[in-house]
Amino acid sequence: MAKRKIDPDDDVRNDRVILEMIQYTETDFLMHENPSLEELIRNVRPEYTSWINVDGLHDKALVAEIGTHFKMHPLLVDDILNDHQTKTEEFDEHLFFTMKMLHSISGSQIEYEQISFVLGKDYLLSFQEKEGDLFGTLRERIKKASGKTRSRKVDYLMYRLIDIIVDSYYTVLDSVGHRIEEIEEVVHKDTTGAEFDKLQVINKELIYLRKALYPLRDALKKMTKDESGFIDPSTIRYFRDVYDHVGHLIDSLDTYKDLTSGLMDIHINTMNSRMNEVMKVLAVISTIFMPLTFIVGIYGMNFDFMPEIHTHWGYPIVWITMILIVVGMITYFKYKKWF
Amino acid sequence: MAKRKIDPDDDVRNDRVILEMIQYTETDFLMHENPSLEELIRNVRPEYTSWINVDGLHDKALVAEIGTHFKMHPLLVDDILNDHQTKTEEFDEHLFFTMKMLHSISGSQIEYEQISFVLGKDYLLSFQEKEGDLFGTLRERIKKASGKTRSRKVDYLMYRLIDIIVDSYYTVLDSVGHRIEEIEEVVHKDTTGAEFDKLQVINKELIYLRKALYPLRDALKKMTKDESGFIDPSTIRYFRDVYDHVGHLIDSLDTYKDLTSGLMDIHINTMNSRMNEVMKVLAVISTIFMPLTFIVGIYGMNFDFMPEIHTHWGYPIVWITMILIVVGMITYFKYKKWF
Amino acid sequence: MAKRKIDPDDDVRNDRVILEMIQYTETDFLMHENPSLEELIRNVRPEYTSWINVDGLHDKALVAEIGTHFKMHPLLVDDILNDHQTKTEEFDEHLFFTMKMLHSISGSQIEYEQISFVLGKDYLLSFQEKEGDLFGTLRERIKKASGKTRSRKVDYLMYRLIDIIVDSYYTVLDSVGHRIEEIEEVVHKDTTGAEFDKLQVINKELIYLRKALYPLRDALKKMTKDESGFIDPSTIRYFRDVYDHVGHLIDSLDTYKDLTSGLMDIHINTMNSRMNEVMKVLAVISTIFMPLTFIVGIYGMNFDFMPEIHTHWGYPIVWITMILIVVGMITYFKYKKWF
Amino acid sequence: MAKRKIDPDDDVRNDRVILEMIQYTETDFLMHENPSLEELIRNVRPEYTSWINVDGLHDKALVAEIGTHFKMHPLLVDDILNDHQTKTEEFDEHLFFTMKMLHSISGSQIEYEQISFVLGKDYLLSFQEKEGDLFGTLRERIKKASGKTRSRKVDYLMYRLIDIIVDSYYTVLDSVGHRIEEIEEVVHKDTTGAEFDKLQVINKELIYLRKALYPLRDALKKMTKDESGFIDPSTIRYFRDVYDHVGHLIDSLDTYKDLTSGLMDIHINTMNSRMNEVMKVLAVISTIFMPLTFIVGIYGMNFDFMPEIHTHWGYPIVWITMILIVVGMITYFKYKKWF
Amino acid sequence: MAKRKIDPDDDVRNDRVILEMIQYTETDFLMHENPSLEELIRNVRPEYTSWINVDGLHDKALVAEIGTHFKMHPLLVDDILNDHQTKTEEFDEHLFFTMKMLHSISGSQIEYEQISFVLGKDYLLSFQEKEGDLFGTLRERIKKASGKTRSRKVDYLMYRLIDIIVDSYYTVLDSVGHRIEEIEEVVHKDTTGAEFDKLQVINKELIYLRKALYPLRDALKKMTKDESGFIDPSTIRYFRDVYDHVGHLIDSLDTYKDLTSGLMDIHINTMNSRMNEVMKVLAVISTIFMPLTFIVGIYGMNFDFMPEIHTHWGYPIVWITMILIVVGMITYFKYKKWF
């Protein structure tokens, strides 16, 4: 959660920062792969809707340079480089939006990556911590001019990007839902506590998802009430739609939280029932055999004077007594519903 | 909870989409069963209040066509097809309302089905996921012109449909209430944990009901503050009435939640009490028989020199000692209130 | 919690619906016991403040007739007959207020009865589910013209009725308070779990009281902000006073809830302490006697070659060994603070 | 928590109601100890700031008379006599403020006493349930004209009185804090559950303090937004200061609540750890001695044909076997980390 | 949490109060180390931005004198000396801001120190309880004119100081995060309860951090809505940035709280699982050896008439029986999944 500090040693990493620029109008499409900063700046023109994507944030100097060119407020540059929040903020020249993107979902391990958007009049800058994103399909669609993106402005582009990220949250929550259902079916039979551990893993994921989604809802709410003029009134409805989706995600999250905690209760109850059962077995065995062992102990004593020992019926009578005791005990336990 | 994506393969299902149109004025009544889309469109006229019901949403193309004819916003069509939320949304040409309907209640298993309403100036479209609904009686009443529906406009019709769905929630919550009462009477005697499992089932149902009811209240609240003009001021009071009912349902839900959790506490306490009882039996038996077994063990030893063994009173004295021990132990346990 | 539906079969009950009308001015007092509906309607005149009380709601037709005469909105009649909510609602001709009355408090069993008030310009209608109410003393005071009621209008009468009902909640909460104090004194000594059960009963009562009081506060709040004109500004202060009392009741309710849950924690802790004690006794007894029994077992073996057995000091040495073991064990347990 | 009802029998108590009046201007000071009502009324004059204090509320008639003289609203008199709430209420002629005062703190037992203030244009009435209060020092300071009170109006006097009461809450919360710290140090070693009981006592005190402080904050908030004109704008800042202090008290209260509940968790965990330890001792002892006792039992049997018994090495071999078993068991338990 | 009272005996402490004044313009820099009060007051001039820092608050008279010179409101001086809250308050001549500073972080022990800021038109006073602070680097930067501070006014200086303190909270929360991760890895293996204790320590720290951060957010919120004129509109964005950071800290805090409580649940579950395991071992051992010991006890009896004893196969048959019992038991336990 750290607000990472600017540390010159960080730059030693030999990962390159990757720049990419897509420019389009309804009729035209240009793609600059990995241009130099100068190239990039030279090409941004109001005739085009320009989307500039920056992968990797370790080259602070580069980001600062971009900031200077696009007249970003120092706090804005600082937020892009150091912040791990989710928020919307208006600046004189830009609308700033930063959120958490689910970077990769290998197995059930979720990794978060910070993504920041800087929306200007006719350009959109996006800053990602690592290479690789969820926008491949969209790039294709823009290129092929399929879908509505080409016919609309840069604010709609930002909506599309956010929408894609929010959709990936649906995928994660769905997977959580399926895992909960799986656990639900076996939680009664779990003797090892393995299911409890799985529930705790889910619990932890839900905690992190909540940390991502709640501020996201607030940030999007701010966007739907935008008065900065960077978002066209006709696009605001689309942002409201994403906002509604996030609200729905949060509802599901809360439901999953409740289900998880219900399953934990079931697990604990199951454990306790089993414990009860074990204790009953112990108590039954002890209650039956302790008196019997005592009785046979008596007639193992070596007293000279023990008249019973010398009678012919002594041994059978002891047996009969013991059998009666066993029968009595079992009847008692049946009555007490111990088994 | 997934936002289902438009997937052409879905259309391969051979379920048919069923269209149905009811049209009425105060004096007139028309019913088109299973018309073709063209027929349907041709017949919608401002003279009539038209209710068009669509059962099944797998034919995306059909829904899209309907959307185009009625000038629906692309987001609206998208929401009908893909969304599982509960919300009210105003569009220029329509008021959109979507909620969860309790589709069928077999045994204690609740199934939810999404239902969407699109309210226009003089027509109401309803979209359901599956065939079969709760509106049979209302259709009859409209046909026979009993009740007020025929004499009022299409907004009142929508109120009636929502009211019927909300009433079905009452039925479900009532059944939950009865099941809680049943469990309440036997929870003290439950030794198997079966009642705890039933409580968990109820708990889960309440979680889902809450997920349906809370957003429903918000959506209806929005309707009672309607400024779109699609709902006549005189009808708003009716929507406020449904809104109040949902508020009441939520109160009951919370009460049942508290009762359920109270019963779980009782169950756990009962389990613990029983455990305590079992442990006490074990401790009492051990405390009584361990010393006795030790004593008889002593005189089972084979030492050459054990003078007590050869006295005449040795054996009776051991018996008396042991009886005193038993009496002493029992007195002690009585004093300690162990039984 | 059901919204009871109008069901003609209900009317078969042979309970009669009891009507009663009290009319007064500052100088005059009239009482109509059990008048017919016609009589009643004929006598309602603006010169008098009229209070019409209806006991029993099973004669739906009668209530509907009354509704028609007093120009009640269909939803209002419906709410009187079918609703179990607590709310304030303004209609054009009336102010409607419905709440839960504590009908009878036999033992510690609370029964709730719905009471509805319909406040017109110069008349007040009250509808109760069952015969018998808390207003006997007030009727006497009105008759004898003691107190301020006779000198004020019908809105003040409604305040007085609500105030009396709210006072009965105080009585109930006081009794809850006393029972909590009683349990507090014995909860430490409870071995049977009986006190826990009592706490659960209180818990359940508090759940139901909360269900009655929270919406009541909201409903009264609405009344203190009345803009309908049915409540005179000078009377609003009185309603604010009842509103404050309900707020105070809710504070007490929450306090009792916390106290109850604190006592449950104490109970559980007591149970666990006792369990611990039982387990310790078991462990101490086992730890002392198991080694001893083992030792005497050794010298009960029948090996031909066991030299110790034939020495003169064997037997006393075994005794000394065993005594040392016992002393050692007890020292150890004392050191471990097990008793 | 009862709203005490006016009951004439209450007056039989022979406690006297004690009146006291202090009057001052910047230059003048008058004190009337125990005047008659007539005396008191005769002396109240606008030239002086008058503080009238009433100790004891059982003489309802007296309070009513005072009320009549100072033109109090009937509801106000009723609230002074019967209410146990904390609230601010504006009346035409007065500002009414009532709160809970910590009457005496003997040991760790807190007693609450209701105190009511009626603020007029140039007089302040204070009503206390019992004799004895926290204002002795202030009376001295007014008399000696030290501090600012003499130079300011009656609204400042009320602030000073409330401030003194709020300060006494600080003392109580501090003592709670110290007790929590004390418990914190020994909770790990507690075997008797005594610390848990102390925590529960603290818990209960915090519940009552919360019941006193939350409404106090609301009541003071109302005072800081005063529009009645009874509080001078320059004094409002002082009330805001008390309001902030109460907010701070509530923060501390919540913190102590969390700390207390954390300590309870530690206690429960300690109890469980100890239980675990006891159970392990029991299991270890049983696991070691049960097999041994069984083995020696075997060779205590009296079968004619038991060849081992007659060999010379039988007895030593049994011993060696048993020693190996003990060593094996202990190794196993060490491996399992049981001790 | 005490509101410390002014107590003259406090002054006997021989700690000195340390004054320090830094004055700067964009071009000029002056530093007065440990000036006398007179010196200090003489040098404050509107041409310079003056930062006066007071370390140590025990010399109440000195603080009062400073207050008088800078025309502070008596309540403000009182708050500096006695208050342990976090708040923003506007006075006519000043903006007052007081918060908790993390004074020193030795090991994992957090110490809080109160710091108060009094912002005037061209000077900033800061009051700290103890010597030593976090502002060393900033002092250097101002001196060297690096960073923006020198080019801006006194409101920006206050922002910088607050920002530095808030950054130190990040450090603490990060350390909490690391400790949680460490515990997470070993909590499953903990048998001593040591990890549980560590979690409780973290829990306690989070409680105190929350007590510091929640009011801090409110106080900063107030600052971002400043209407007093002491904060320049261009600086408000910076305060909003700190405000956002505190919001982020609170989110992290809540997340850590949830994680901690999840880990406690895991710990308790682990403990219970282990308990279960212990009990099973005990039950298995008892169930196997108790019947066996009973059987060998039988043939240890000394009855004259016990025919089995004299047969040749008696002894082997007893052995076979016992082996069958052991095998049967183990099969049964395997089937029951006890090990």
Residues in D closer than 8 angstroms to E85, CB to CB, are 244-245, 247-248, 251
**C35 in contact with D, Cβ within 8 Å:** no
Query: By CA distance, what is B310's nearest residue in A?
Result: A304
Nearest to D269 by CA among C163, A243, E190, A45: E190
**C84 in contact with B, Cβ within 8 Å:** yes
The per-residue pLDDT for C107 is 57
Contact E241 A3 (CB under 8 A): no
Q: Are residues A265 and A278 in the same domain?
A: no
Which DSSP string corresponds to C204-225? HHHHHHHHHHHHHHHHHHHHHT
* Average pLDDT, consecutive stretches of 10 residues, N- to C-terminus, chain C (339 residues): 40 66 90 87 88 88 90 90 87 92 69 92 90 86 85 92 93 91 87 84 92 93 87 91 93 94 89 85 87 87 83 86 91 82
CB nearest to C259's CB, from D207, D281, D306: D207
Per-residue pLDDT of chain D (339 residues; tens, 9 = 90+): 444 333 334 444 446 788 999 999 988 899 888 888 888 888 888 889 999 999 888 888 888 999 999 999 988 998 898 878 899 999 988 999 999 998 755 555 788 889 999 999 889 999 998 887 889 889 999 998 887 888 889 999 999 999 999 999 998 999 899 999 999 888 888 777 788 889 999 999 999 999 999 999 999 999 998 888 899 988 999 999 999 999 999 999 999 999 999 999 888 888 888 888 888 888 888 888 888 988 888 888 888 888 888 888 888 888 899 899 999 989 988 888 776
Q: Which of E301, E329, E336 should one mutate to test binding to chain A, selecting the residue with the greatest count of A CBs within 10 A?
A: E301
Average pLDDT over residues E139-164: 90
Total domains in the fold of chain D: 2
CA E158 – CA E126 distance, rounded (Å): 9
Q: Which of A156, A269, A288 should one mutate to test binding to chain B, selecting the residue with the greatest count of B CBs within 10 A?
A: A269
The per-residue pLDDT for E8 is 38
Q: Are residues D262 and D330 in the same domain?
A: no
What percent helix, strand, coil does chain B show, rounded to 5?
60, 15, 25
Whether the per-residue pLDDT at B315 is higher than 60: the answer is yes
Q: Are residues E73 and E160 in the same domain?
A: yes
Q: Are residues B329 and B246 in the same domain?
A: no
Instruction: Say how many CB pairs under 8 Å bridge A and B.
Output: 131
Å from E137 to nearest chain D CA? 33
Look at strands D123-128 and D49-55 and give their pairing.
parallel
Look at strands C87-90 and C49-55 and give their pairing.
unpaired
**B85 in contact with A, Cβ within 8 Å:** yes
Q: Are residues E163 and E207 in the same domain?
A: yes
CA D135-D255-E250 angle, 5° bins:
130
Least confident piece of the model among B19-28, B103-112, B173-182, E275-284? B103-112
**Structural domain containing residue B145:** 8-269
Whether the per-residue pLDDT at E329 is higher than 70: the answer is yes
Q: Are residues E82 and E189 in the same domain?
A: yes
The per-residue pLDDT for C8 is 38
Q: Which of A315, A318, A339 should one mutate to test binding to chain E, selecting the residue with the greatest count of E CBs within 10 A?
A: A315
Q: What are phi and psi of E113, to 5 degrees?
A: -135, 135
Q: Are residues A55 and A140 in the same domain?
A: yes
Q: Are residues E203 and E287 in the same domain?
A: no
Domain boundary among A269, A286, A303: A269
Å from E297 to nearest chain D CA? 6
Confirm whether A1 is domain-assigned.
no
Whether the per-residue pLDDT at E334 is higher than 90: the answer is no
Indicate which CATH number applies to the domain containing D122. 3.30.460.20
Contact D75 C241 (CB under 8 A): yes
Residues in B closer than 8 angstroms to A297, CB to CB, are 292-293, 296-297, 300
Q: Are residues A141 and A56 in the same domain?
A: yes
The per-residue pLDDT for C12 is 40
Q: Are residues D132 and D217 in the same domain?
A: yes
Indicate which CATH number applies to the domain containing C290. 1.20.58.340
Q: How confident is the model at residue E57 (pLDDT cuts 50, 70, 90)?
A: confident
The per-residue pLDDT for D261 is 92
Domain boundary among A269, A290, A310: A269
The per-residue pLDDT for B319 is 87
Instruction: Say how many CB pairs under 8 Å bridge B and C.
Output: 132
Beta carbons of D288 and D322 less than 8 angstroms apart? no
Domain boundary among B248, B269, B290: B269
Average pLDDT over residues E239-251: 93
Chains with ≥3 Cβ pairs under 8 A against C? B, D
Residues in D closer than 8 angstroms to C318, CB to CB, are none
The per-residue pLDDT for C106 is 58
Q: How confident is the model at residue E106 (pLDDT cuts 50, 70, 90)?
A: low
Share of chain B above pLDDT 70, in %: 94
The per-residue pLDDT for E333 is 87
Contact D300 C301 (CB under 8 A): yes
The pair of three-digit structure tokens given for residue D253, joined into one six-digit string: 């209260």
Please identify every stretch of chain A with a pLDDT value under 70, giving residue numbers as ranges: 1-15, 104-108, 339
Q: What are phi and psi of D33, to 5 degrees?
A: -90, 125
Residues 6+ apart with CB under 8 A from E252: A1, A211, E173, E177
**A309 in contact with B, Cβ within 8 Å:** no
The per-residue pLDDT for C114 is 92
Reported as a single tens digit per residue, the pLDDT across C99-116 is 999 875 555 578 888 999
List, as ranges, residues 89-118 from B with C-beta within 8 Å of A: 89
Q: Are residues B223 and B317 in the same domain?
A: no
Q: Are residues E281 and E326 in the same domain?
A: yes
Confirm whether A2 is domain-assigned.
no
Confirm whether D301 is domain-assigned.
yes
CA C224 – CA C238 distance, rounded (Å): 9
Confirm whether B3 is domain-assigned.
no
Backbone dihedral region for residue C44 (phi beyond 0: left; psi -120 to 50: alpha; all else: beta): beta
The per-residue pLDDT for D108 is 59
Contact D248 E85 (CB under 8 A): yes
ipTM of the shown complex: 0.82
Residues in A closer than 8 angstroms to E284, CB to CB, are none
Residues 6+ apart with CB under 8 A from E108: E175, E179, E201, E205
Confirm whether B265 is domain-assigned.
yes
Query: By CA distance, what is A90's nearest residue in E?
Result: E237
